[in-house]
């Protein structure tokens, strides 16, 4: 549907707008007088008439001086018949038949032309950018030819040549039709129609009335550019050929250039950065309009999944930053850290590099910053995890849901937890050895730890353990017995073994037949803990209150407390 653009207007004769009626860059028209007005502001706002005819009523006596008139601006067509008389020329009248002549120094006078023949009506006709037309003689003829959209008509009786535009539409229209591919045309409905430019998403439009410039700019985030058109208008002066653009252009193909509305071919100008160079200087008084079409690029994060084809298909090889990621479509290989994945046996080639497994690695990181990876090193493959992470081994069902069930875990402390492990050998152990702490008396008729530094097992993880103790018992000339048990010093509780039976074990018992005895004793327990870092003490009890009822730890007595993880 055609859109109507109307300027501010008045149909009252001699009516002109005030500075409060117009914004900078806004137009107003008097449809009675045929006058167009704009508002200018060079520090002081005022209304300026653009085009139209200035009547004598608008001029004061003496206000039009020669400095106000351009050369050849006032010709016979501009003057009414007999409107310039002798008094206006400030010259004394001559006699009948004389002609007005000049001495070349600005003095006019009437003189008699001697001889016959006729006088040249023109000597040279010059058009900017065209060859001069020069009169060859006093009888030479100047021929006018009508161009496209122009008709010429002569009236010999009044010595009149009429030049008329045959183009459709009114010459006061700022535009006739604006066409956008895939959109409805915007057509000017009349001379007062108004074209409104609206900024879309991530776009801004700014105007500059002082240099008649409209700037389209992207207001989106990231490093992208949504593109746009930067429009500028320059005033021709007949000599200037270079003009400065507001934005840099990379090629002439990005520019549309017009001189007084006439499209200029690409070979008639050149561009370098923000400098536009015209092959020929635009004539004085002409308008040079330049439209820079900027090609847009997507900003960071502006391409969403919905914008991509599904599935996204790329033909041929694909590379990210040369060798960060390389897809070899010919050999069906993927390389990371190499631009030429060459391992014929591998789908993924990490490339050659430093001889350290932590340099060439495949790292997997989730949103919780859990990390695990594999690294290639000479003759071995390194698997590594973050210092606070574990590696879980899981099996997947084949029901289509891929339900995961954990069957084993490798902790960051090196302990392998296997829920299905039933062997007799564990995957990790710890031991305390001593033969230098000297003899330790065993508590009399009460349970206690002879030496809390060595008679203990510190179990790092919850699980099932085999606890082993070996020590040298000394019962030197005394009777009675000595026993051992397990005590959880972390929870302050006496422990049973894994069978549920008491952890108490008999070390040695001597009847009334007093003997001097040293004997090496060993015990084993199976114990399951439900928490990490459990401090299990080996407590002992003796029924003899004597220093001769003791545990030896010297060159003759070697003590060992060892734990072994079995489940």
DSSP string, 61-122: TT---GGGS-TT-S-GGGS-TT-S-HHHHT-----TT-EEEE-SSS-EEEEPPPSSS---S-
What tokens appear for 120 in the block?
A: 């040249």
Residues 364 and 335 placed together within one structural domain of the fold? no
Residues 236 and 274 placed together within one structural domain of the fold? yes
- Note whether residue 395 is domain-resident: no
User: Does the CA dihedral 241-246-252-254 come out positive or negative?
Assistant: negative
Greatest alpha-carbon span in the chain: 179
- Note whether residue 30 is domain-resident: yes
- Please state which of the ranges 263-272, 313-322, 480-489 shows the lowest mean pLDDT: 313-322
Q: How many domains does the chain have?
A: 5
pLDDT recorded at residue 534: 93
**For range 508-516, the mean pLDDT:** 76
pLDDT recorded at residue 439: 77
Residues 474 and 494 placed together within one structural domain of the fold? yes
- Note whether residue 166 is domain-resident: no
Residues 248 and 333 placed together within one structural domain of the fold? no
- Note whether residue 481 is domain-resident: yes
- Note whether residue 120 is domain-resident: no
Residues 530 and 447 placed together within one structural domain of the fold? yes
- Note whether residue 110 is domain-resident: no
- Range from 139-148, 228-237, 412-421 that averages highest in pLDDT: 228-237
Residues 339 and 368 placed together within one structural domain of the fold? no
Beta bridge partners of 458: 535
Residues 329 and 448 placed together within one structural domain of the fold? no
- Rounding to the nearest 10 degrees, give the CA dihedral for residues 434, 436, 441, 446: -20
| pLDDT at residue 168 tops 60 | no
Residues 378 and 252 placed together within one structural domain of the fold? no
Residues 439 and 532 placed together within one structural domain of the fold? yes
| pLDDT at residue 287 tops 90 | yes
- Note whether residue 218 is domain-resident: yes
| Final residue belonging to a domain, choices 259, 279, 294 | 294
| pLDDT at residue 319 tops 70 | yes
Residues 263 and 328 placed together within one structural domain of the fold? no
- Rounded to two decimals, the pTM is 0.34
Length reported for the chain = 567
Residues 363 and 338 placed together within one structural domain of the fold? no
Q: Specify the CATH number for the domain of residue 542.
A: 2.60.120.40
Residues 360 and 471 placed together within one structural domain of the fold? no
Domain interval for residue 46: 8-61
What percentage of residues in the chain have a pLDDT greater than 90?
15
- Note whether residue 168 is domain-resident: no
436 by DSSP, 3-state: which?
coil
């Amino acid at each position: 549907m055609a859109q109507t653009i109307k300027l501010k207007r008045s149909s009252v004769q001699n009516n002109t707008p005030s500075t409060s009626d117009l914004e900078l860059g806004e137009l107003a028209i008097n449809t009675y007088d045929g006058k167009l007005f704009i508002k200018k502001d060079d520090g002081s706002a005022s209304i300026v008439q653009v085009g139209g005819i200035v009547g004598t009523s608008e001029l004061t006596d003496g206000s039009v001086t020669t400095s106000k008139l351009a050369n050849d601006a006032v010709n016979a067509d501009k003057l009414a018949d007999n409107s310039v008389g002798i008094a206006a020329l400030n010259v004394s009248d001559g006699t009948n038949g004389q002609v007005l002549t000049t001495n070349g120094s600005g003095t006019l006078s009437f003189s008699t032309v001697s001889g016959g023949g006729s006088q040249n009506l023109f000597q040279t006709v010059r058009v900017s950018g065209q060859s001069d037309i020069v009169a060859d003689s006093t009888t030479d003829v100047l021929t006018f030819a009508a161009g496209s959209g122009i008709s010429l008509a002569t009236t010999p009786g009044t010595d009149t040549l009429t030049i008329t535009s045959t183009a459709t539409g009114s010459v006061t229209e700022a535009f006739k039709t604006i066409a956008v591919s895939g959109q409805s045309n915007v057509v000017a409905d009349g001379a007062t129609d108004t074209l409104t430019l609206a900024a879309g998403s991530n776009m801004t439009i700014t105007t500059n009335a002082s240099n008649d410039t409209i700037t389209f700019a992207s207001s989106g985030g990231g490093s992208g550019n949504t593109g746009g058109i930067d429009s500028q208008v320059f005033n021709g002066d007949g000599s200037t050929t270079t003009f400065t653009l507001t934005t840099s252009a990379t090629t002439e193909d990005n520019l549309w250039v017009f001189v007084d509305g006439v499209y200029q071919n690409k070979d008639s100008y050149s561009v370098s950065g923000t400098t536009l160079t015209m092959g020929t200087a635009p004539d004085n008084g002409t308008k040079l309009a330049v439209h820079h079409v900027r090609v847009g690029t997507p900003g960071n994060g502006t391409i969403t999944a919905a914008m991509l084809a599904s599935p996204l298909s790329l033909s041929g090889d694909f590379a990210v930053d040369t060798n960060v990621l390389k897809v070899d479509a010919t050999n069906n290989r993927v390389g990371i850290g190499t631009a030429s994945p060459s391992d014929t046996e591998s789908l993924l080639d990490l490339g050659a590099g430093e001889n350290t497994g932590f340099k060439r690695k495949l790292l997997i990181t989730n949103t919780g910053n859990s990390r695990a990876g594999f690294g290639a090193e000479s003759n071995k493959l390194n698997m590594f995890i973050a210092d606070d992470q574990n590696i879980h081994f899981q099996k997947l069902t084949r029901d289509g849901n891929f339900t995961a069930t954990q069957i084993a875990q490798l902790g960051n402390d090196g302990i392998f937890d296997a829920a299905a492990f039933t062997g007799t050998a564990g995957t990790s152990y710890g031991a305390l050895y001593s033969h230098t702490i000297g003899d330790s008396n065993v508590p009399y008729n009460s349970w206690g730890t002879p030496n809390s530094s060595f008679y203990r097992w510190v179990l790092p993880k919850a699980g099932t353990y085999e606890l082993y103790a070996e020590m040298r018992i000394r019962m030197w000339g005394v009777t009675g017995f000595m026993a051992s048990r397990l005590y959880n010093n972390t929870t302050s509780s006496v422990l049973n073994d894994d069978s549920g039976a008491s952890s108490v074990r008999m070390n040695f018992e001597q009847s009334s037949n007093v003997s001097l005895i040293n004997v090496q004793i060993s015990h084993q327990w199976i114990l399951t803990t439900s928490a990490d870092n459990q401090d299990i003490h080996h407590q002992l009890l003796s029924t003899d209150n004597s220093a001769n009822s003791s545990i030896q730890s010297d060159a003759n007595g070697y003590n060992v407390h060892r734990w072994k993880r079995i489940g």
